[in-house]
Chain A
């Protein structure tokens, strides 16, 4: 059994019931672990530009695949990364929010 705690339910795409979108959403979800890995790598290496790029891409496409909360979280992280006054605590929280939501994405 996959280890999924009750407070981390899967995040289902708004288009999960749209038969036309099914294959596309599944492909999109299948890419999520890769995005999460890239986000973690960039975070650990303090690669701010890479983080901005990754967050930006997620912001731009998640809503179109029915994952608006992920898009919103990505937008918050991108905005935070671009803000001179952002705190490490704030950024860390935004980063964790995003990666957490990404890992919960399901078709």
Chain B
């Protein structure tokens, strides 16, 4: 993904070298980098390989139908998100409509009016930035700034696949603030909320940069720990546990927050779906709750489950 700091990469697909020169010149002060393709096929390959921030596509190229290139770009998961501005010498509205229908973000007419083209490029880049931001926001928990449950579900499935493919270890940690309802009832929801936010801060401070912290719901958090052995996962969980236990609040000196933790790695030989992982981490969490709270339990060290025991989702707070 293009970050605002680096110059956005602009891919121009046009059969005329003179047009490439002209555009590079006209846009030389616009802070964009140029990538040139002179045929549709070349353009498609460059788009896949370099992931430009924007594509300018000439609709009329000999040997290639520009619409064909547009369809290719919009049917490939690697290029579908890249905005395309279609350039056409035709003034026919039918062709413009068709371009929009096939996924073009904008249409500009040749010959170029440089200021207009510049404005349209900036507008397309801005629009793309906003869309990406919205997409990102939709996966973020509003209160804590951690990833939300939807992102967690997607990511866990992803990381399980990835770990299986690369044969790397994977750990999952679920934690739950102890007696959180009592804190809410005693001090009010604003205090409860700020404790959740603080817990999120402790969490992000104590985990590693490549761990994936999520708010699972209420006062429950789930952290995916890629490439992490059970011992390493226990160490991370223990750091977070100690971190929240040591935390004090200036305005509420009597508040003491702790959390219970359940950790798992490969939970079952025959079940590798996300449900099996969550259930295993949850059982370990339940065990922590049953055994005094403010502690970390690994699924693999738990005593065997008595036969006939039912789901553990509704564990004690």
Contact = CB atoms under 8 A, between A and B. Distances in A.
A60 B22 CA distance: 12
Given A60-B110, A64-B111, A53 B62 contact: yes
Contacts of B16: 57, 60-61
B21 interface: yes
Given A53-B62, A56-B60, A57-B15, A63 B111 contact: yes
Contacts, number: 46
B42 to A, nearest CB: 15
A52 B64 CA distance: 13
Interface in B45-100: 58, 60-63, 89
Interface stretch (A23-31, A38-46, A83-91, A98-106): A23-31
Given A61-B16, A64-B110, A24 B58 contact: no
B121 to A, nearest CB: 16
Interface size class of A (residues with CB under 8 A): 10 to 19
Contacts of B15: 53, 56-57, 60
Contact of B18 (A28, A49, A75): A28
Contacts of B19: 60-61, 64
Interface in B159-180: none
B110 A56 contact: no
25 contacts: A24-B21, A28-B18, A53-B15, A53-B63, A56-B15, A56-B62, A57-B15, A59-B89, A60-B16, A60-B58, A60-B60, A60-B89, A60-B110, A61-B18, A61-B19, A61-B22, A63-B89, A63-B110, A63-B111, A64-B110, A64-B111, A65-B18, A65-B22, A71-B111, A75-B89
B112 interface: yes
Contact of B112 (A49, A64, A68): A64
B25 A24 contact: yes
Most chain B CB neighbours (cut-off 10 Å) among A28, A56, A68: A56
A55 to B, nearest CB: 9
A18 B220 CA distance: 66
Nearest to A57: B16
B14 interface: yes
Contacts of B25: 24
Contacts of B111: 63-64, 68, 71
A64 B111 CA distance: 5
Contacts of B14: 60
Given A52-B62, A60-B58, A60-B60, A31 B89 contact: no
Contacts of A65: 18, 22
Nearest to B23: A64
Nearest to B20: A61
Contacts of A27: 21
Residue in B18, B60, B63 with the greatest tally of chain A CB atoms within 10 Å: B18
